[in-house]
Structure 1
Amino acid sequence: MLDATLYQSMFARSPIGTIVLSASADPVILDVNDAFLRDVGHTREQLVGRLLFAALPAAPEDPDDPYSNGVTALRNALARVLASGEPQSLTTQRYPIRSILPDGREVFVERFWSVTNTPIFGADGSLRCIQHVSIEVTARKQAEEALLLSRREALDAARQAEAERARLGAVLQAAPVGIVLADTRGKVIDANVAHDALWCRHCEPGAAPLDFSEWKGWWADGSARHGQALAVDEWPLAAALRGEPSAHHLIEIETFGASRARRIVVCSAAPIRGHDGQVDAAVVVLLDMTERLRAENALRDADRRKDEFLAMLAHELRNPLAPIMAAAELLVQDAAAPAGVKQASAIIGRQARHLAGLVDDLLDVSRITRGLAVIDKSPLDLSTVVAEAVEQVQPLVASRGHSLALDVQAAPLTVCGDRKRLVQVVANLLNNAAKYTPPGGRIRLAAQAEAGRARLSVSDNGIGMTRELMGRAFELFAQAERDADRAQGGLGIGLAVVRRLVELHGGQIAVDSGGPGQGSCFTLTLPLAPGAAHAGGAQAAQLPAAAGQALEVLVVDDNRDAAQMLGIMVQHFGHAVRTVHTAGEALDQARLHAADVYLLDIGLPGMDGHELARRLRAEAAGAGAVLVAVTGYGGEEAQRAALAAGFDYHFVKPVKGGDLRLLLRDIARARGLGVQERGAAGGARGRYLGR
């Protein structure tokens, strides 16, 4: 047992603030040590013998402040000690201490305490007092709160920086120009999609430094260095990383795509400096000027061709005016013999008609380009159009000693169109062929039906065309550059009129040439009139097949016009044909009456042609038949898919009549000879035809 003096010395000199409270609901301070007096700034006389909450009052509790509950928390803890006889510790509490300023004003200084209340029992087990130990942790609490605030501020700053980065990234990616940022070592920090699309290469941030020797570029600024390749250190990004000020350069670049295309860009680069003024990074902006420059060049070219056209128009108008004026002067003089008068009148008539033709051409192009051309459509046979056009150009063809061969199918080619305008189209093509073919040349006109469309071509062995001229053959005034001496005459607007008239009929026109001196071929296609195939096919269907060689053919295509035309073609070859438009109908027809040959479109709705072929192969109706795929896909992958599905042959649309006729002929012969049909008709299973 320690003696009382020693105990009192230990209590008084303990470095931890301690007070002894009475064991009551409103405790009285029985004793207090020196450490507690220092913590609260009071004397022993001010505290001992007084009620705890009177001697050490706290600022009124704020109900809106969750930390302002020190008095309540302490009262509750003391009550629990009395009730349970167990020590009670409190989490860190805010318990402000009253203080008197030098000017006499009373203030409460915010203080934080870590408190433990321990019951003290006597020898008889009765509760004698409560030891209240409090450690001031104000400095620690303030440091913790400062740290927490700092963390919050850091998190807020990080979130704000991330939001700013996200906004900058969104702006970067949305920009319609190519943008790339790189650090001082040339490593990409960021690049937007427009930059990657322009170069056809993805610039991965943080990858190896850019190797400028890989990037191909040439100066395109029109200066003395125009066309020279950029050296490694001449790239604007390299210059910016050296700290050179921002600059704008016109550069032609070569992309990394498979085509290695070239683009002309305005390249702007600038250094990015840190707080110390040193270059930390650089930014490059690339504006693609290719299409704009092409458009500007096209406008300049169009303006030049317009000027040339006007000069050429004056020349063309003067040509007929000269003989007209001379003939008129002769008639005015009344000095010509009757034969001379007749001759002069004939000259005036011919040249006036020539002038009228030129004016008609000008009016045509004016009306058509302004959308004022009127097309009076009605069903007509294209062969009558060809006959009328040939009649118109025959004098020119004969005068130049050309031979004109016609190859027009016997069955009607009924289209819905304007007879006068279509005659104008065909006559213009024949007229061009005659004009641009040296005397004694060969001209051929062919017309036939192909996959629901009428196809007409005019070919010659004339002067031919360059690839550049083919690209603009149907533009206005393109003819002005075709022949420098203008020996052929004309305004160079005929083909532009032809293209627009063909388009107004729902058709298309194209030109092909092997090059200068290799002749030209103009091909136009027009949609056949609805139901026209019936008119042309009725007579063709009456053609008998060779004895024992007629096949049963089932055509399956959801495009009714395509199915109808393919059926007419098969009938024309002398075979029996049925047409259906869905896979379900095809299976029903096959079960009712099996066919020898099935012509199946691949792109059928619901069940496609591949699945239909597999179903037919699984049934008796198609097990021994010849299956022919008819599709718009002609690559090796499409052929492999057709072969895997059970097809024997693969045609690419539009199906060529000659190829189909030969295939059906060979199948019929093989069938008549008793040879197994599948794969025996002139080739291995899956052979690719109709290229």
Structure 2
Amino acid sequence: MQAPRGPAPRAAQRSGASLLCNCNRSRFCRWRQRGPSPGSKAKRGIIISSAFCRNLSGLALGNKRMNAADAAWPVATPSADPRGIDSLLFEASPDCVKLLDLDGRLLQMNRNGMCAMEIDDFGPLCGQEWTSLWPEEGRAALTAAVAEARQGRSRRLTAFCPTQKGTPRWWDVTVAPVPAGDGEPQSILSVSRDITELHRARDEQRETVARLGFILASSQLGAWELDLATGAARTSFLHDRCFGYDEPVRNWNYDAFIAAVHPDDRAWVVAAFAQARDTEQDWSFECRVVWPDGSIHWIAVHGSFFRPDGGAAKRILGTVVEITARKQTEAELRETTLAAVQAAEAAETERGRLNALLEATPVGIVYADMHGQLTVSNAAMREIWGDYPQSDSVERYVDWKGWWPDGTPGAGQRLTANDWPLARALQGEEVQGEIVEIEPFGRPDERVTILLRASPVRDAAGEVIGGVVVQQDVTDRMRIERELRDSERRFRTITEAMPQMVWASQSDGYSDYFNRQWYEFTGAAEGESYGDGWMRLLHPDDVERTRQRWEQSRTTGQMYEIEYRLRHRSGDYRWVLARGVPVKINDGDVVRWMGTCTDIHEHRRLLDALGEREEALRLADRRKDEFLAMLAHELRNPLAPISTAAQLLRLAADDPQRVRASAEVIGRQITHLTNLVDDLLDVSRVTRGLVQLDMETLDLSGVVAAAVEQSRPLITARGHALSIRSGPGAPCVQGDRTRLVQVIVNLLNNAAKYTPPGGHITVEVEASDGMARVSVTDNGIGIDKALLPNVFDLFSQGTRTPDRSQGGLGIGLALVRSLVGLHGGRISAESQGANAGSRFTIELPLSNAKPDSGRPIAGQVASVTTPLRVLVVDDNVDAAMLLADVLRMAGHESHAAHNAADAIESAERLGQIDAFILDIGLPDMTGYELATRLRDHPAGERAMYVALTGYGQPHDRVLSRAAGFDHHLVKPADAQKVLGILADVVRRGPARQPG
């Protein structure tokens, strides 16, 4: 049912009644037709956010208002406080919804919430502190959330809280203010969603990842991953050890692997890989590789194709293990077998001597004829299998009990008659070496692990006339290997569960293990800290004394203990306490070192802060005063030329040249004011973590070129010479183009402003060691050494002249550092002091992907091919008329109105409108209400709605989206952006037919 058009009842307008969901429009229509009860006083309502509606009923927000006094819906409990809450939505929510007073006491809870919390009676809880329902260790965060809600801010957090009956539960909690008609909070709304299963699934996922890492490490399997598009590979340290490297290898790829393969094996390895890639089938093979020292080793390689979402293969994931020792064992077995077969063929008449040879061989040997009948075996064979039957055919091999071991495709399954290596050898197959678990004859329930190798026996014509299998009992060896793996698993399980960083080193000081907490703290990549790589994470001033202390402990065997600064994943250095103890054998020799690192930064910081607090307060107060003075100066500067230009416009209105010049002055100064406000807002958003990056693959040279283009007018005006240098190739990074251009423009503008006229500025772009670097160097006034450590702090500036000719608020470099950090990079500053110039260097992680193509370019506006009918509504008469004139000059039919009533009258008079550009703060109703009214009117039901307002905070954009606006622009809006939005209307087709 469509809601009737026309203005809402004035009682509802005065009450500030709450917005309803679009899906409740029929109920709203009935309310509008009925109107408030005669003589009743409408209760004050609230505007409910889209997040509230989604949590309560999962429905999208509409823009209808409803008076809570006319709802007459049931509440959750007799003690419920219905202030400003739509009780039907409150009860319909599947989540646990609570209404609190401003002191955080429980007023109301929905029935689903009582079920979720296993509460039988809400009465005893009414008026109780909400936080008292939660475990004590989690109350501080909840108390802080209630305090923020009293200030009009929402907060979301995850917390653990068992139900009233003790059932453990994890909750996703949102705490939000419920505003009154005047916008001030009148109560608090809490929505808790049960995420226990999600929390458990995440724990299981982390456990699975840890278990996989342990399996790979404990089995000495090297892991590798190959990108099929680029040929680039990622490898583990154990992978690199299989190729003879004692240090992790960077930039490993397919070509490096092929180059390491033995020349005699290279051709067939290349062919095998090509065939696997063409068929996208899992593959494995064994080949020889040549180590850097010239020695030859055997490896076994396995690869599996990774297909995301079941599509085409993108990567190959695989393992590699060195099998040189096994190959040597197989070679010995092969030589023994060959010798035995040759002896049997050459001395058939000397059966006794052959039997003696077989009996003396320490491995089990069996020979079968071409039909599979066992004709020859030795004592070692009987020792392994017991009193076994003399099978007369391959079909009788089913009597032999064997199972595939763990780690094989058929793990746990019993071997069929044709699975036995001897049966496969009779088919002409060479079985290089397989592990099988068997049950010997006459010894039920006993398991023995054997290693088998089988080969066919051929006559002079190459025909198979028999087969021989060699078997070796490896039960003890496998047991020892399992015990070692179990021991390693227990060790890793314990260390991964510890809250501290745990490390281990060999007796010679080579560090070969770090637990998960180490990588989470430092942000280092797996294997990067091995050897003495961990010292690269230390503060430069602490490296030498740490090295000396470590060498002293390692040499003397004394306990190792030291405090040093370790680089945190955030890029900051934090103080840690490192302790290490030697692991000794009976005679006192150190065989290993085990240690921990404990974060003591806060303890050290508190101690240091006691002595520095007073000075810090004085410095902060001084910076505040300097910043306010700079802000006043920077904001007043543009007002003088704007005021003068306005007077000239009044005095010389008939002089087009003066009018144009005055307009340009006003435009430039407005741009300057806008940039100042944008910088302040950017710093606020970055420091609160509200910046959203539009990430794409970028050619860094193109980003630098765009920044130079923006800064060139200032550089040219100052008479500077600009040089741009680029290294080989075109480095690519993942980033937000607009933000990275903003970063480099800021550095270029600083270089231009703080370099005397006629100076020289150099921009360098290069890439190495997995990082892309952009350096901006000038020969300007430099940076004082006392200021250099704080150059990136907020409001930090050097000594300024009384006229403040360089301008700025001291926030640019702080914003640059924050934006670079959001991209996973870092920035540094260098200067030899006053008048010695400065150098700023940005480092960003390199990307192997190619730059994105076909993305829309900001500012591009299609030419107007179809004029649109546009209505601009703004109570600022000048702003509305000027924007309407700009749209009219661009070829559109534009009209202006200055309040909601005029806008509705214009819509009825003009007919179908293609686009509405509405101010939010109108005198007679808000732009949100006006949009709702116009959307229900025939003239505006197909139109595009654009909010043009001075409110630009995130919650303002949420409100505009909830009210049905297609775009949200912050004043002063760029006319080109407005024209670009209208161009989208032209492309999709206007609401009315031309003519």
TM range (shorter): 0.3 to 0.5
Q: TM-score, normalised by structure 2?
A: 0.24
Q: TM-score, normalised by structure 1?
A: 0.35
